[in-house]
Structure 1
Amino acid sequence: MADNVTPTVRDVLFAYNTAHEAYGRFVCNGVNQEQARNAVALLLWLEQGDVEAIRHMGSFNDNVLMHLAAEANSIMLYLRGEQSFFLEIPLLSRLAPQGFIDPGFFVFHQDLVVRGVADILDGVGALIFDDRLYRLLARYQTGLLGRMPPELAAPYTFRSVPVPEDCRSMFITFSRGQHVDREDIFNHFRNKWGDCIVRVLMEKTTCGAPPMYGRIIFKRKAFISLVLNGEQLVHINIGDRQIWLRKYYPCMRNV
């Protein structure tokens, strides 16, 4: 593809067909859709460093595939802050040029990894994980359609689309008497993931009562997927206390 030619949606779908097939195989083998998207986005990001997982996916049987999904999921848990276990990624290490990936990389460079995976989820991931577009592409390639559909012929130019704050927010709760200051929550994510939070809001209370809930507004929607990673409710340790996080919906106590 010439450098001065803008790729079409069809070109991008074709270029990432192996990644889409990997996503489909993960889901067919029982992997949660959000976990599958995160895993594929992580593997695509690792391929930028020559860890050739996606391009060899077609040669993996389902057993190897699920081992790969488990290793990717372990990395996602590490990125979220669950580092109470030793990160073992032997399969991914074998796919690296040097035959080894230092697990410490995912601890000391969390911001780099998270930002890279989020770029893919918020960018080309919109096409990679769109089953409808791939069905349309298959119909065109097999001759079931005459002309190329406008959706496929359209030029692919990624533009960041503003996402409402409600769609970039998470609802947080605390155990009674165990609230965490907003500054500590903000700094926790900033120290681990870099500049990822807009602000943290807390329940308005009276008479000095501590808040029981709050809201985190992230800069990008993809960060929510990386926090939850397929779960409805997760907890994160901040110091010696925990906060519980779930997706935010506008009806949630008007935070």
Structure 2
Amino acid sequence: MSTMRSKVIRVWEVLDAKETAHSAYERVLARPTSLEVAKNTICLLLWLETIADVHILEDVSAMEVGGITLSRLVMEADALHNYLFHGQEALPEPLVGGIPAIKELCSSGRLVDFRFFKFHRDLVAHGLAVIRDTIAEVIFSDHLHTMLRQFEDEVHSLAPVMTSVPAPELTAPFVAIARTPPEDSRTAFVAFWEGHPLSTQDIINYFERLLGFRRCIKRVETEQPCAGQTPKHAVIVFLSAELREQVMFNETVVYYRINGYDMWVQVYKPPL
């Protein structure tokens, strides 16, 4: 009996799929920017593309090199990246006023703000680490991108001398040595209307009793905001990815109305 085998992904396929990310990386470097800051910025924006329904990196690759927008974005992204991994008690100066450039780029103020990253800090850090340990190595390789462009030029030349064959580095299998924790594939982000948070029990009762999904939720965690604020963010971890899909009616984003208040829920799709 034959068995199904998963498709082998080649390095050149990752290069091709992430060409826009490399273009954005080159644009950030052209500011000029140090290699580490540029990598931090692109890794964060790559992760954001997994939760924002916009082509963030495409916008960045078209930004004016000497423009204020790109400069502000790089400062915010690098400071946020460092906060997520090293989080000092005192916020870095670029984050004191929030992350307006990142919010504008994502067009998702409902979900993406500094409080989102503060609350989901561990989850975001996991995702960034996976990106840095896997596809980032390919995205940031000028050598690999140069080889791919040369091969594409040969293929598209009018009079090729011989059949072009990509370099072994390009046809090598892409092996991801790191993965996002399995629980992240059962996770959904939650955002409340400002001033109208819902309790953990409200959320569980709504899905498991009112909607009739029975026991489908492993846990709900709600933001503990600063004095004078009400919770704006929460996270739901379902018992399985399949149950999450059922509860979300196979949609990526769903608005639910609970006790007269709206709750915005979006599935999390880990990078790998």
Match of 1:234 in 2: none
The one-letter code sitting in structure 2 at the alignment partner of 1:67 is R
Match of 2:64 in 1: 61
- For the 8 Å contact 2:103–2:109, the answer to whether it is kept is yes
Structure 1: 5+ residue runs without aligned partners?
A: 161-255
Superposed displacement of residue 136, structure 1: 0.8
- For the 8 Å contact 1:19–1:128, the answer to whether it is kept is yes
Matches within 5 A, 1:3-42: 4-42=6-44
Match of 1:142 in 2: 153
Cα shift readout 1:194-240 (whole Å, capped 9, x = no counterpart): xxxxxxxxxxxxxxxxxxxxxxxxxxxxxxxxxxxxxxxxxxxxxxx
Q: Which of 73, 78, 81 matches 2:83?
A: 78
Matches within 5 A, 1:46-57: 46-50=48-52, 52-57=55-60
- For the 8 Å contact 1:41–1:120, the answer to whether it is kept is yes
Is 2:156 aligned against 1:154?
no
Q: Which of 94, 103, 112 matches 2:114?
A: 103
Cα shift readout 1:163-207 (whole Å, capped 9, x = no counterpart): xxxxxxxxxxxxxxxxxxxxxxxxxxxxxxxxxxxxxxxxxxxxx
Match of 2:136 in 1: 125
Superposed displacement of residue 78, structure 1: 2.7
Structure 2: 5+ residue runs without aligned partners?
A: 156-162, 179-272
Cα shift readout 1:73-121 (whole Å, capped 9, x = no counterpart): 2212432223335242112212334345221122222211111111000
Q: Which of 32, 38, 44 matches 2:46?
A: 44
- For the 8 Å contact 2:98–2:113, the answer to whether it is kept is no
The one-letter code sitting in structure 1 at the alignment partner of 2:175 is T
Moved over 6 A (4+): none
Structure 2: distance between partners of 1:31 and 1:111: 27
What SS is found at the alignment partner of 1:49? Answer: coil
Match of 2:102 in 1: 92
What SS is found at the alignment partner of 2:154? Answer: coil
Structure 2: distance between partners of 1:31 and 1:95: 20
What SS is found at the alignment partner of 1:143? Answer: helix
The one-letter code sitting in structure 2 at the alignment partner of 1:74 is A
Structure 1: distance between partners of 2:22 and 2:61: 11
Structure with greater Cα Rg: 2
Identity rate, percent: 34
- Tell me the TM-score normalized by structure 1: 0.56
- For the 8 Å contact 1:22–1:40, the answer to whether it is kept is yes
- For the 8 Å contact 2:20–2:57, the answer to whether it is kept is yes
The one-letter code sitting in structure 2 at the alignment partner of 1:57 is V
Structure 1: distance between partners of 2:7 and 2:118: 39
- For the 8 Å contact 1:71–1:92, the answer to whether it is kept is yes
Superposed displacement of residue 31, structure 1: 1.2
Match of 1:113 in 2: 124
- For the 8 Å contact 2:133–2:177, the answer to whether it is kept is no
- For the 8 Å contact 1:78–1:106, the answer to whether it is kept is no
- For the 8 Å contact 1:75–1:87, the answer to whether it is kept is no
Cα shift readout 1:125-144 (whole Å, capped 9, x = no counterpart): 11111111111111111118
